[in-house]
């Protein structure tokens, strides 16, 4: 009788062991099935994410390609401005004035007016002083272009008076340059220009010689009018 219960106990133990093994086997199989099921989904998700990233990159590349870099746009504008200046210079330098061949073009502008024109030209165009000096030298001396120094320009611009600076090379060269510029743009003569012609035409234009000395009586004061003519105080009162 005791032996019978022992055998039954062994059977019960074996049965529990078998059930445990089956449970473990079933759990392991389920885990493998889950792994096999999730693996394709993970790869599909990765492929989807990668495809979206590539699409975003391609769209950004296409957008950037449609917009030229900022530096290139600035350079293009600058090149266009230079091209326009070259066209204007070509029209200006192609004009011939009487006296161009030997540097004796008659001058019908005062030194003060030329100084105003230089100031306006430099501020409006933004051209450098060095380039401006090269331009006026080329316009005034087409056969033998000289070098005009910046100091000559600075000295001329510092002075004041209708004839003060008339012997400076900048005065003659700038006058010829602005006269050719006026003709190339089709502009009419100013009132000051007409007054200068009336006063200096019989002398071949304003003198480019150094200021002269004048003798006068005691108590008489001389002054210079806007066209460069010296008059006495008595003349000014009449």
Q: pLDDT tens digits, residue range 44-76?
A: 555 555 555 555 555 555 555 555 555 444 444
Q: Are 184 and 91 in contact (CB under 8 A)?
A: yes
Question: Which residues does the chain have with pLDDT short of 50?
Answer: 1-15, 39-42, 71-87, 237-238
Closest CA to 161 of 114, 104, 107, 216: 114
* pLDDT number for residue 224: 85
Average pLDDT, the chain: 76
* Long-range pairs for 161-165: beta carbons < 8 A, 24 or more residues apart: 161/111, 161/112, 161/224, 162/110, 162/111, 162/112, 162/224, 162/225, 162/226, 162/227, 162/228, 163/110, 163/111, 163/206, 163/207, 163/211, 163/224, 163/228, 164/111, 164/211, 165/111, 165/115
Residue with tokens 């759990």: 27
In terms of pTM, does the model score above 0.75? no
């Amino acid at each position: 009788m005791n032996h019978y219960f022992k055998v039954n106990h062994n059977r019960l133990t074996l049965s529990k062991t078998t059930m445990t093994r089956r449970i473990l086997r079933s759990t392991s199989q389920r885990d493998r099935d889950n792994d096999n099921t999730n693996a394709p989904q993970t790869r599909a998700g990765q492929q989807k994410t990668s495809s979206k990233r590539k699409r975003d990159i391609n769209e950004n590349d296409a957008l950037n390609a449609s917009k030229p870099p900022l530096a290139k746009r600035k350079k293009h504008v600058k090149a266009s401005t230079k091209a326009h200046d070259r066209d204007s210079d070509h029209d200006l330098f192609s004009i011939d004035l009487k006296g161009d061949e030997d540097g004796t073009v008659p001058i019908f502008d005062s030194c003060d007016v030329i100084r105003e024109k230089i100031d306006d030209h430099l501020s409006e165009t933004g051209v450098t002083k060095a380039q401006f000096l090269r331009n006026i030298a080329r316009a005034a001396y087409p056969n033998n272009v000289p070098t005009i120094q910046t100091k000559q320009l600075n000295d001329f611009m510092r002075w004041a008076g209708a004839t003060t600076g008339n012997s400076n090379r900048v005065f003659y060269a700038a006058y010829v340059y602005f006269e050719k510029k006026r003709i190339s743009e089709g502009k009419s003569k100013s009132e000051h220009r007409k007054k200068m012609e009336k006063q200096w035409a019989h002398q071949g234009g304003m003198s480019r010689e150094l200021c002269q000395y004048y003798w006068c009586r005691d108590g008489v004061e001389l002054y210079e009018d806007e066209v460069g003519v010296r008059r006495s105080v008595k003349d000014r009162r009449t």
